[in-house]
Structure 1
Amino acid sequence: MRGARRAAAPTEVPREAVSRPRAGGGRSRGGTIILRPRPRLSVLIDRRSVLVALLLLALLLVGMAASACLGQTYISPTEVWRTLRTGSGPYDLVVNELRVPRIVLGALVGAAFGLSGALVQTVTRNPLASPDVIGVGHGAAAATVLALATGVVSSPGAMPLVSVGGGLVAAALVHVLVWRRGMQTGRFVLVGVGIGVALSAVVQLYLTDSELGAAEQVKLWLTGSLNGRGWQQAGPLGVVLLVCLPALAWASRAARPLGFDADTAAALGVRVDRVRLGLTLLGVVLAATATGAAGPIGFVALTSPQLARRLTRTPQLPLLCSALTGAVVLVAADLTARTLLPPLEIPVGALTSLVGGPYLLWLLGRRATAR
């Protein structure tokens, strides 16, 4: 009995010796901070991602300030701030009516494209994928062209809604054709490319048979431009981004298991097809809304997630940094397009395509070398 009692004694641990995590406490492991506001809730924050996000935010603010000052008429930062604060003055028209709404719209469109590209590339697991691959931009263009050709929609304010509807219909068509016993990313990309080519043919057919004035209007929209756009387009896009915030918070967590193959993710209890469908739907809504606001601006959704990933060095595409990168890229591109060849303004979509084309070729060459 005494031996049994002595053997059992070491198994008894005093209650005071057990360490319990405090509510609101945190620990650090390497470059990751683990926050535990509740005993069953853990939030992972990567230090490098936080620093990169702060740096991108600072660059965005600097770019927006520079864009408000520079142009055909230079306005000092002091005058810009005074005009914004008072809402009057000699530069009220240039600052409050022309530049500031355009700058805000550019930042929102860039953020929406960056988020959409990150979501689509997460679903397809392909850095060459973008919303254009699944026909969003081509669907929006075809819907806009058909609306102009038939005269169904004559109000300029209704054209963004037409573009959004066309993008959603094109993406839905791709999903209907792809969804056979689950969604395979290879077939997803191929069907999206095929739908995009067919819709591009519809647009080209209209351009060859339409009047010169209508054709020029469609061509200008197809290049993607922020010229002549402002709060009327920025307001709805901002509302969509705010409404999508809870879904984006879910997406940042749901996208983590998709870094594994489908079998591994399913073994972890993840409903892969449902998660992919939800991420794709969210990305389509963001891309279609951004396209309706500014036109199909190319390569922002393609390049922003990959640039953000290389800056943060995270295993998955960071949504917040992708949004900030897209906003910085588009604001800087619009500033360059306005000031590069004054008094001529280059459409920002043409400039992003000119820069994004070599990046795409470099990315293709790098993937070929890796294989």
Structure 2
Amino acid sequence: MTALPTLPTRPVVSEAPAGYAWWRFGRYSILVHRRAWSSGFLLIAAMIIVSGISLASGAAGLSPWTALAAAIGQGEPMHVFLVQELRLQRLIAGLLTGAALGVAGCLLQTLARNRLATPGIIGIDDGATAFAVASIVAIPTTLAPSALALTGAATAAGLAFGLSGGAGARGYRFIVVGIAVGALFGALTNLMLARTDMDSANQAYPWTVGSLNARPAQAVWLLGIGLLAGLPVAKYLGRALTLMRFSDSVATGLGVPLKRMRVMTLLLTVFLTALAVAVVGPVGLIALAAPEVARYLVGHQGVPVFNAALAGATLMSLADWVGRTLMAPIEIPVGVIMAVIGGPYLLWILLRPSARRAP
């Protein structure tokens, strides 16, 4: 009677790989990247500091501690009114829009395998802006401009994606077609503004440059709900996008449903971008800079969705604070501040050798 061969057993791993840590909770454990978590806490700290400074700065200056206390309803009634009714709503709008644009930029850059593929550069911002402006100056409707921004963003994304043949290996073609689509919608926006009266043009002006001044509360709440629902989906897509950075044949061999993942990624990008543009207008350079900051801090080849959201929120609130205080009492729209900062940054991205590598 012969003995049955023994089956090989799985090796017991007692230590986490280099650069990772195991968090054990009884029978369950989580493997986390040390640098990703530490950079996340660093971005949270930076966001809190910038938020406190933003709440304290203005025509009536407050100390950061007084401003934070007023934000939760503590302190003098005048300080509470100033912070909660004027500054806090603006800060929340900036944090939410920055986070949404950061996530959208991170997803789209990874999908197109190019760091220049952002919602602003491929025309999604311009499409949303054109439809929002049209609802004010060209074809007045009962729908709010923020509602039509979603339609414009979807139209621009569909045109760019369809005319380029997809966003897979054709990353540069996708960008070039997107630039053309954005230029078309930008020209339509300028044409509508040139042929309308002064009052309507002034009403539509914030939608063309990007501003956080007196944003509609309904659009801000809708963005918050959409971001809360979209972040887990973005994290789920990030795992597949990490494998899709390889060639299509390799990703397919690893079990990634390419077509479904691309469609889901594009839909989520359009969704988040449209909700953000419906609040702040076109501030597309946040989507360019925030993912790059997140990748630099994380230092590994994953898709840093949450860190991109934190970086985008911090950059947006910082740019808004600079715009409010740099030439006070004159306010500079946040879109103008980001254009001044983002222009040289974009040139740096284009000129450095790593700009030709996939994100």
Q: Same fold, TM exceeding 0.5?
A: yes
Residue pair 2:97, 2:280 contacting (<8 A) in 1 also = yes
Structure 1 distance, partners of 2:230, 2:54, is 28
- Is 1:360 matched up with 2:346? yes
Give the greater-gyration-radius structure (CA): 1
Per-residue Cα deviation, 1:17-39 (whole angstroms, up to 9, x for no partner): 98767xxxx74111023568799
Change (3 A) 1:51 1:212: same
- Is 1:311 matched up with 2:297? yes
Structure 2 distance, partners of 1:162, 1:332, is 28
Structure 1 distance, partners of 2:154, 2:343, is 26
Q: Which residue of 1 aligns with 2:134?
A: 146
Change (3 A) 1:181 1:12: closer
Structure 2 distance, partners of 1:99, 1:49, is 31
Structure 1 distance, partners of 2:32, 2:153, is 34
Q: Which residue of 1 aligns with 2:287?
A: 301
Give the drift of 1:317. 3.2
Q: Which residue of 1 aligns with 2:121?
A: 133
- Is 1:320 matched up with 2:324? no
Q: Secondary structure at the match of 1:196?
A: helix
Residue 286 (structure 1) aligned to one of 258, 272, 284: 272
Q: Which residue of 1 aligns with 2:315?
A: 329
Change (3 A) 1:190 1:77: closer
- Is 1:47 matched up with 2:17? no
Deviates more, 1:69-78 or 1:283-292: 69-78
Structure 2 distance, partners of 1:190, 1:160, is 27
Q: Which residue of 1 aligns with 2:189?
A: 203
Residue pair 2:138, 2:196 contacting (<8 A) in 1 also = no
Q: Which residue of 1 aligns with 2:259?
A: 273
Per-residue Cα deviation, 1:254-292 (whole angstroms, up to 9, x for no partner): 111012122221222222232122112111111111011
Residue 236 (structure 1) aligned to one of 211, 218, 222: 222
- Is 1:177 matched up with 2:163? yes
Residue 70 (structure 2) aligned to one of 83, 94, 98: 83
Residue pair 1:102, 1:230 contacting (<8 A) in 2 also = no
Q: Which residue of 1 aligns with 2:178?
A: 192
Structure 2 distance, partners of 1:369, 1:265, is 23
Q: Which runs of 5+ in 1 are unaligned?
A: none
Per the normalisation by structure 2, the TM-score is: 0.89
Structure 1 distance, partners of 2:22, 2:290, is 27
Count of aligned residue pairs for this structure pair = 356
Residue pair 1:182, 1:273 contacting (<8 A) in 2 also = no
Residue 85 (structure 2) aligned to one of 97, 100, 104: 97
Q: Which residue of 1 aligns with 2:98?
A: 110
Change (3 A) 1:107 1:201: same
Structure 2 distance, partners of 1:341, 1:113, is 26
Q: Which residue of 2 aligns with 1:68?
A: 55
Give the drift of 1:94. 1.4
Structure 2 distance, partners of 1:187, 1:273, is 18
Per-residue Cα deviation, 1:280-325 (whole angstroms, up to 9, x for no partner): 2111111111011110013100111011111111113311111111
Structure 2 distance, partners of 1:18, 1:258, is 29
Structure 2 distance, partners of 1:359, 1:331, is 18
Give the drift of 1:166. 1.0
Structure 2 distance, partners of 1:49, 1:43, is 14
Structure 2 distance, partners of 1:62, 1:348, is 19
Deviates more, 1:313-322 or 1:112-121: 313-322
Residue pair 1:105, 1:233 contacting (<8 A) in 2 also = no
Per-residue Cα deviation, 1:215-242 (whole angstroms, up to 9, x for no partner): 2332332110101126333211100011
Give the drift of 1:204. 1.4
Residue pair 1:111, 1:324 contacting (<8 A) in 2 also = yes
- Is 1:223 matched up with 2:209? yes
Structure 2 distance, partners of 1:187, 1:42, is 43
Change (3 A) 1:123 1:174: same
Matching residue's letter, 1:345: E
Residue pair 1:105, 1:230 contacting (<8 A) in 2 also = no
Residue 346 (structure 1) aligned to one of 325, 332, 339: 332
Matching residue's letter, 1:142: A
Structure 1 distance, partners of 2:240, 2:113, is 14
Residue pair 1:98, 1:230 contacting (<8 A) in 2 also = no
Per-residue Cα deviation, 1:106-156 (whole angstroms, up to 9, x for no partner): 01110000000000000011111101233211111110122112343357x
Change (3 A) 1:152 1:181: closer
Deviates more, 1:64-73 or 1:127-136: 127-136
Change (3 A) 1:255 1:182: closer
Deviates more, 1:188-197 or 1:345-354: 188-197
Structure 1 distance, partners of 2:354, 2:310, is 29
Q: Secondary structure at the match of 1:29?
A: coil
Per the normalisation by structure 1, the TM-score is: 0.87
Give the drift of 1:342. 0.9
